Amino acid sequence: MASPSIAAEQPRVPMSRIYLLAIIELATIGALITPLVVSLSLKVLQIVPESEKEGAIGLVTAIGAVAALVANPIFGHLSDRTTSRWGRRRPWLVGGVVAGLLAAVVLALADNIPVLILGWVLSQAAYNATIAAMSALLAEQVPEEQRSKASGILGAFGFLGLVPAMIIAALFASNLSLVILAMPVISVIIVVIACIKLPDPPVARTDTGHRSLLQIFSAFAFNPFRHRMFTLVWIQRAAMQFGYTIVSTFGLFYLIVRLGMDQTGAASLTSMATLVGAALNFAAAFACGYLAGKRGNYTSFIVGAAVLMATSLLMKAFTQSVAVFWVSTLLAGLALGAYYSVDLALSMRTLPVGQEGKFLGIFNLAKTLPQSLAPALAPLVVLIGGSDPVSGGDKNYLALYLVGTIAVLASLLTLPALRPVLRRDAYERRRALTATDTLTQETV
C-alpha cells in the first residue's frame, strides 16, 4: 500500500485555475463583508433611534454570524455528497451567490430589526455555501507547493472584492438600496462566469444513506490534542479575527462619535478608507504571499502583521484626528494583507492527509465564530467605565480598541509551539516522519 504522503501528492495546477478561485473569493467576500463595513450600520440608523444603534447593530451582526457558523460546515458536507452532473462544488458556488442576491433584496426592503436580522441571516448562510464549496475545491485541486502563493492571491482578491462596492458606497451614499444590492448582483455575474471555466467533474455517489443534522455536525468534531498544530493555528486565527472584528463592527459609529461627523460624511469616509485599505491589503497579500512562498518561513509575516495591527488599533484608541485615523487605516491595510497571505497556507500544513476538506471547514469557523462573539460583546465593552476618556461621549471607544489590541497581540502566544510548521524545512521533515510512521503501522 502506498504511503499517505505519496497518495496525497497532487500535480501542479495552472495559475489560471488559482485565479478562477480567487475571482470567486473576490465576489463572495465583497458581497458578504460590504454590509458589515457600511450598509448594515446605515440601515440600522434608519430603523432605530440613534441612542440604540450600538445594541441594534451588535444584535444583527451577532445573529448573522451564528448563521454563518452553522451554515459553513453544513453546506461543506452537503457539497461533499453532491452528485450533480454539474459537479460537486459548482451548484453550491452558484446557488450561494444567487441566494445571496435574494437576501440582499430582503435587507434593502427591511423596515424593522427582525426583518433586517432575517435578511442578514439569509445572506450569511448563502455566501457561506459558496465559501465552503470554494475551500473544498482549493484543498482538492491545489498542491502544497502552490498553496502559499494561492493563499496570498486569494487573500489579495478577497480584499479587492471591496473595491467596487466601496466605490458605489462613496458615490451613492444617499441611495442605500443601490449600495446594498450592487455587489450581490456583481457577484452573481462573476461567479457564474468563473464556474463555466472552472473544472469540477461529477462524482459517483458512494454513500446513499441519509444523515441527520446531528450526524453532519459530528463529522466536524475532532480531537484538539491529537491535532495540536491545527488547534493552535485555529486559535491564532480566531484571536486575530476577534481583535479586528470587535472594532470594525462599530467603524461607522466611531467616526460619528469620535470625529464628530454626520452620517453621510462618516459613510463616505468609511468607504474611502476601506477602499484605500483594500488596495494596501491587495498589494501586501500578493507581495507577502510571493515572498512567503519563496522563503517557506511564515514567522516574520505573522509577527509583523500582528504588531502593525496592534499599533493601528492603539492609534485609533487615543485619537480624534482625521490624519491619525488615515495613518492607522494604512497600517491596518498592510497588516491584514500580510497576515492573510500566509494564514491559509499555514493551516494547510496542519491538515491530516485525506481529511483536508473536513478540517478546512473547521478552520473556516475560526473566522465565523469571532464574527458572532465580537459583535455580541462590543456593545458591552463600550459601556466599560462610562464615558469615553478621549471624546467624552457616552460610549467608551477607548476600551473597545484596547480590547481589540489585546486580542491581536494574544494571537502571537501560539507561535513558539508552532515552530514545527512555521518553516518549510521543519514541516517537510515532520510530514516525512508522519508518513513513515503510518506506513510502518499499515505494514505491521
Ranking 1-15, 260-274, 360-374 by mean pLDDT, the lowest is 1-15
pLDDT in tens, 158-174: 777 777 766 777 777 67
pLDDT band at 6 (very low <50, low <70, confident <90, very high): very low
Residue 428 has pLDDT above 80, yes or no: no
pLDDT of residue 389: 85
pLDDT of residue 417: 94
pLDDT of residue 214: 67
Q: What is the mean pLDDT of residues 392-407?
A: 89
Check if the beta carbon of residue 240 is closer than 8 Å to that of residue 381: no
pLDDT of residue 9: 58
Q: Is 398 exposed, middle or buried (0-12, 13-18, 19+ CB in 10 A)?
A: buried
Ranking 183-197, 254-268, 358-372 by mean pLDDT, the lowest is 358-372
Q: Is 362 exposed, middle or buried (0-12, 13-18, 19+ CB in 10 A)?
A: buried
Instruction: State the Cα–Cα distance between residues 187 and 348, nearest whole angstrom.
Output: 27
Residue 4 has pLDDT above 60, yes or no: no
pLDDT band at 425 (very low <50, low <70, confident <90, very high): confident
Nearest 5°: the CA angle 409, 414, 416 is 115
DSSP state of 204: -
- pTM, full prediction: 0.74
Proportion of the chain above pLDDT 70, given as a percent: 87
pLDDT of residue 314: 95
Residue 327's H or E segment, with its range, is: helix 322-340
Buried (b) or exposed (e) across 179-218, using 16+ Cβ within 10 A? bbbbbbebbbebbeebbeebebeeeeeeeeeeeeeeeeee
Q: How many CB atoms lie within 10 A of CB 419?
A: 12
Q: How many CB atoms lie within 10 A of CB 71?
A: 22
Residue ranges per domain, the chain? 12-202+219-443
pLDDT in tens, 266-325: 878 887 887 788 788 888 888 888 888 778 889 999 999 999 999 999 999 998 888 999
Residue 441 has pLDDT above 50, yes or no: no
Q: What is the mean pLDDT of residues 173-194?
A: 88
CATH of 12-202+219-443 among 3.40.50.920, 3.40.50.1370, 3.40.50.720, 1.20.1250.20: 1.20.1250.20
Instruction: State the Cα–Cα distance between residues 165 and 178, nearest whole angstrom.
Output: 10
Residue 387 CA: distances (Å) to CA of 154, 262, 395, 403, 405 = 41, 20, 5, 16, 20
Residue 93 has pLDDT above 50, yes or no: yes
pLDDT of residue 442: 38
Ranking 90-99, 174-183, 304-313, 396-405 by mean pLDDT, the lowest is 174-183
pLDDT of residue 357: 60
Q: Which residue has better confidence, 431 or 436? A: 431
DSSP state of 297: B
DSSP state of 48: S
Q: What is the mean pLDDT of residues 206-226?
A: 67
Q: Which grid coordinates belong to 364?
A: 473556516
Q: What's the mean pLDDT when you consider all of the chain?
A: 82
pLDDT band at 56 (very low <50, low <70, confident <90, very high): confident
